[in-house]
Amino acid sequence: MTRTRLSALATTAALAASGGLLTAAPASAAVTCASPVWTAQYYANSTFSGTPKLTTCDNAISENYGTGDPTGVTLPRDNFSVRWSVTRDFGSGGPFTFTAVAQDGIRVYLDGVRRIDLWRNVSTTQRKTVAVTVPAGRHTLRVDYAAWTGAANVAFAYGPNTSATVDKVRPLAPAGAAVAYDRALNKVTLKWAANKEMDLAGYRLYRRLPATAWAKVSSATALITGTSYVNYPPATGESFLYELRAVDRAGNESWGGSDLGVTTTDRTAPGAPSGVTAADARGGITLAWKPVTGATRYVVHRRPTADATAAVTQVATVSAPAWTDTAVAENTGYSYWVSAADADGNVSARTATAAVHGDFAPGAPTALTALDDARTGIVLNWTAPAATDVVSYRVHRDGVLWTTVTGRTYTDRTVRYGTTYRYTVTAVDGAGNESAASAAASVTTEGDLVAPAAVTGLKGTAGTDGVLLEWDANTEPDLERYDLYKGEFWADEEEPGGGVWVFRHVDYIPAAATSHLFASTQDGDRYRFAVAAVDKWGNTLATDINDVSWVEVEELPAG
């Protein structure tokens, strides 16, 4: 079927009544086609020579001229040509597919570079599809078509490849975003310009407080498909930042657009203090808690723990997230409640805690055990003393303070094979009082987690029968063997001169050896050889090949 062009001609033809005939405007009349509409030029020859007989606009290239000439313009039945062109914004670019179908010849260009060439007189329709990576920004497509003899048809289509396995290009960040805040409704309205991506799927909106991570506030599953969005942030009086990101059909998400700030009306009390602790201290009970965002002061209430009928009274209002109660009696327990308040008078719920005041050191930990586990190290366990105000334990190894922990277990992962270690543990209360040491526990290791040191003095010499590798002897007492790795260079086909060395295990070498002949046919190539020591527990630096000693050797030429 021949395509009708009356709507296209309406943009270029000046119609005048003259003897009952319609007269088209001269072929040289100016025609402007708004991108992404094609500008089409028709020539009465197959070489695009001279002035076009018609210049018009096409929404698509899909023509079937049959054995006649195009409708709306006088051209010869054979040996005519059409040139379409369009300049448009491809957004972030990426992988595209170009498909050309024609009888007779068709050529497709991107920014003047030929991408499809089917330039021949044929008796049947020919087709070609190519994958093209289009850079970001504006580019020009041009399609040249020539009809020489016989039937004529032409079609061309282009579009992004939206396969997630192919398209790894992020879309462009949204632009032109603006935000408005309605304080009475606590409503944020965001608007932005439409993204230029041809494979745009939609948008996601993120929000955060300063110095915190972005969190998505649009739908958990659906994308925003319009260019505006309404959000109701927490009415906390805080300053929130909004960031808009575009998402393409392959699932790639853009970087964020411009950050947009909104300070909300404060109608929300701060969060209740968390991490509230009360610990015995010299001269009183020290309370501490984590700072609460938006709080300007904290209110502390107290009651003796032993008297449930006593009134809960306010004992302090402080600005810092800590306070020491000095008005307490020795050897007496107290319950405390702490709440947070903001500058607008909003007060949080109260968080409770309790402590006993008494400046006495706790008892020593008991039942200390030390177990050698070659997989993890030496595992210590003990029983806590009866005191309720213990806040930490100090682990001593061979008479020296080794570490401080809060739990009742510790694993020493720094031990070595065949060594005896002696441990004791002390308890420390909130006032810093340290107990006496526990009974000692000793253990001799039969394994370790420490890899043997890297091989030293490694060198390689190419010979006619292979590569001779030599190194210094490793002195580890639990050395089991050496592992030999051979590295080959894998070039990066897309980056000239780029690539990586890939190592594979090729041999086991006895622990007593300090040399090894790697037999191979000499071909003049370069290889890397790595030698890694392995102890009887399987520890080796070869878990990361970058830590292993290696040498690069060029084999003798072939023949």
**Cα 21 to Cα 34: distance, rounded to the nearest angstrom:** 30
**Cα 210 to Cα 198: distance, rounded to the nearest angstrom:** 33
Q: Which residue has the higher pLDDT, 97 or 432?
A: 97
Q: 417 pLDDT band (50/70/90 cuts)?
A: confident
* Contact predicate 61/142, CB 8 Å: no
Element spanning 57, H or E:
strand 54-58
Q: Inform me whether the pLDDT recorded for 2 exceeds 60.
A: no
**In the chain, what percentage of residues exceed pLDDT 70?**
93
Which of 53, 103, 124, 123 lies closest to 83, judged by CA? 53
In a domain, 173, yes or no: no
Same domain, 350 and 370: no
In a domain, 452, yes or no: no
Other C-beta atoms closer than 10 Å to the C-beta of 415 total 22
Q: 432 pLDDT band (50/70/90 cuts)?
A: confident
Q: What is the pLDDT of residues 170-202, one digit of tens each?
A: 999 999 999 999 999 999 999 999 998 999 999
* Contact predicate 291/321, CB 8 Å: yes
Q: Inform me whether the pLDDT recorded for 28 exceeds 50.
A: no
In a domain, 449, yes or no: no
Same domain, 101 and 25: yes
Same domain, 52 and 133: yes
Same domain, 222 and 341: no
Domain boundary among 331, 357, 383: 357
- For residue 253, the model assigns a pLDDT of 95
Q: Inform me whether the pLDDT recorded for 513 exceeds 80.
A: yes
Other C-beta atoms closer than 10 Å to the C-beta of 427 total 26
What phi, psi does 546 have (nearest 5°)? -70, -20
Other C-beta atoms closer than 10 Å to the C-beta of 35 total 12
DSSP 324: E
**Cα 121 to Cα 103: distance, rounded to the nearest angstrom:** 7
In a domain, 453, yes or no: no
pTM: 0.47
Provide mean pLDDT across the span 243-248: 96
Domain boundary among 133, 160, 187: 160
Same domain, 385 and 510: no
- For residue 282, the model assigns a pLDDT of 66
Same domain, 324 and 379: no
The CATH number for 40's domain is 2.60.120.260
- For residue 236, the model assigns a pLDDT of 82
User: Which of 31-40, 63-72, 151-160, 421-430 is predicted least confidently?
Assistant: 63-72
Q: Which domain holds residue 338?
A: 277-357
Provide mean pLDDT across the span 421-430: 93
Same domain, 186 and 251: yes
Q: Inform me whether the pLDDT recorded for 330 exceeds 50.
A: yes
- For residue 360, the model assigns a pLDDT of 67
Q: Inform me whether the pLDDT recorded for 339 exceeds 70.
A: yes
The CATH number for 424's domain is 2.60.40.10
Q: Which residue has the higher pLDDT, 433 or 461?
A: 461
**Cα 94 to Cα 297: distance, rounded to the nearest angstrom:** 54
- For residue 359, the model assigns a pLDDT of 62
In a domain, 272, yes or no: no
Same domain, 48 and 133: yes
User: Which of 5-9, 94-98, 299-303, 387-391 is predicted least confidently?
Assistant: 5-9
- For residue 559, the model assigns a pLDDT of 66
What phi, psi does 320 have (nearest 5°)? -90, 155
Q: 25 pLDDT band (50/70/90 cuts)?
A: very low
**Cα 450 to Cα 447: distance, rounded to the nearest angstrom:** 9
Q: What 3-state class would DSSP assign to 13?
A: coil
Which of 466, 485, 471 lies closest to 542, judged by CA? 485
**Cα 12 to Cα 5: distance, rounded to the nearest angstrom:** 11
- For residue 539, the model assigns a pLDDT of 87
In a domain, 74, yes or no: yes
**Cα 177 to Cα 182: distance, rounded to the nearest angstrom:** 17
Q: Inform me whether the pLDDT recorded for 30 exceeds 90.
A: no
Same domain, 476 and 427: no
Q: What 3-state class would DSSP assign to 6?
A: helix
* Contact predicate 529/551, CB 8 Å: yes
Location of structure tokens 């016989």: 150
**Cα 62 to Cα 355: distance, rounded to the nearest angstrom:** 84
DSSP 478: T
Provide mean pLDDT across the span 536-553: 88
Same domain, 52 and 120: yes
Question: What is the average pLDDT score of the chain?
Answer: 88
- For residue 373, the model assigns a pLDDT of 80
Q: What is the sign, positive or negative, of the torsion defined by CA atoms of 387, 390, 396, 401? A: negative
User: Which of 20-34, 69-83, 440-454 is predicted least confidently?
Assistant: 20-34
State how many domains the chain has: 5
- For residue 103, the model assigns a pLDDT of 96
Q: 15 pLDDT band (50/70/90 cuts)?
A: very low
Location of structure tokens 């947009």: 260
Q: What is the pLDDT of residues 284-322, one digit of tens each?
A: 889 999 999 889 999 999 999 888 888 999 999 999 999
- For residue 255, the model assigns a pLDDT of 94
Same domain, 377 and 352: no
Same domain, 53 and 151: yes
Domain boundary among 323, 357, 391: 357
User: Which of 26-40, 107-121, 235-249 is predicted least confidently?
Assistant: 26-40
Q: Inform me whether the pLDDT recorded for 13 exceeds 60.
A: no
In a domain, 451, yes or no: no
Q: And the tokens for 352? A: 């409770």
- For residue 11, the model assigns a pLDDT of 33
In a domain, 165, yes or no: no
What phi, psi does 39 have (nearest 5°)? -95, 120
